[in-house]
Every structure is written in structure tokens, then in C-alpha cells.
């Protein structure tokens, strides 16, 4: 797929969208069936972002790993660094769903939250 062609992931229709530069420095799109696709494709072309979802080690808990999710999107270019940082950390049970696990991950301004409650091991 060419660098300026994207598959929209906003809904299951999965439109193929081409982003075309304008003379004024902006962009137009072709192939999207709605405005949400235009917004998605231009964002993906100019400033791609991703949610962070993974698991981290947790001590003294009923399971060995805690699912976590970012409070918002991080720049796509920072995703690997965020995942590497999360791979290094270990938290202590108990944890409640929504607790902040890492503040401002990799300087992105985005917090990482617990995606579920995890009780202590008995
Ligand atoms: S452009 Fe609109 S209709 Fe097409 S996949 Fe994206 S959200 Fe769905």
C-alpha cells in the first residue's frame, strides 16, 4: 500500500482512503465514505497516534500480569519506547481498575492505567 493510502479502522466498512496534498499545505481525501474517515486518514498521514495496551508484572497478586491501557493516544513513534518501559516495571497488588500505573509515560503527557482490578494472593 502506498504511503498516502490508508485503511480506515474507525468502523468495520474499512474504506481505503487516499490522502492528497493541496497547494495550500492542507490535505484532501478520496475513498472515505464519511468525515470520520477523512479525519482519521489525515491524522494517520500527518501525526499518527496509538493507544497503548499491554500487561505489566504484578507481585503478590492472583495472576502474574496486570493488563494496562493508556488514558489516551501516544505518538506512534513513541509506542515502542512506552512498551519497553512498561516491560521493565513491576507493581504490587492490590490494584484497582483505573489506578494510575505510570504517570506521563515517556514524556507523552499520557498516563497508563490498570485495566482491571487485581486482588492480593491469599
Ligand atoms: S470512512 Fe467512514 S464509513 Fe469508511 S471505514 Fe471510515 S468511518 Fe467507516
SS (H, E, C) 6-65: EECCCCCCCCEEEEEECCCCCEEEECCCCHHHHHHHHHHHHCCEECCEEEEEEECECCCE
pLDDT digit string (tens) for 42-100? 999 999 999 999 999 999 999 999 999 999 999 999 999 999 999 999 999 999 999 99
Of 5, 11, 43, best ligand 1 pocket probe by most atoms within 8 Å of the beta carbon: 11
Domain ranges of the chain: 5-47, 53-114
Computed over every residue of the chain, the mean pLDDT equals: 96
Q: Name the pTM for this structure.
A: 0.84
Overall residue count recorded for the chain in this entry: 122
CA of 32 to the centre of ligand 1 (A): 6
Domain 53-114, CATH homologous superfamily name and number: CPE0013-like (3.10.530.10)
Q: Whose CA is closest to atom 3 on ligand 1?
A: 33
pLDDT digit string (tens) for 51-62? 999 999 999 999
Amino acid at each position: 500500500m502506498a504511503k498516502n493510502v490508508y485503511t480506515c479502522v474507525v468502523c468495520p466498512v474499512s474504506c481505503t482512503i487516499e490522502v492528497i496534498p493541496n497547494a495550500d499545505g492542507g490535505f484532501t481525501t478520496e475513498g472515505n465514505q464519511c468525515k470520520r474517515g477523512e479525519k482519521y486518514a489525515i491524522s494517520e498521514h500527518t501525526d499518527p497516534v496509538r493507544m497503548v495496551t499491554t500487561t505489566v508484572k504484578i507481585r503478590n497478586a492472583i495472576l502474574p500480569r496486570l493488563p494496562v491501557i493508556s488514558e489516551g493516544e501516544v505518538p506512534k513513534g513513541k509506542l515502542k519506547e512506552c512498551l519497553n518501559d512498561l516491560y521493565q516495571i513491576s507493581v504490587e497488588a492490590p490494584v484497582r481498575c483505573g489506578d494510575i500505573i505510570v504517570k506521563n509515560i515517556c514524556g507523552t503527557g499520557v498516563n497508563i492505567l490498570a485495566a482491571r482490578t487485581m486482588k492480593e494472593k491469599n
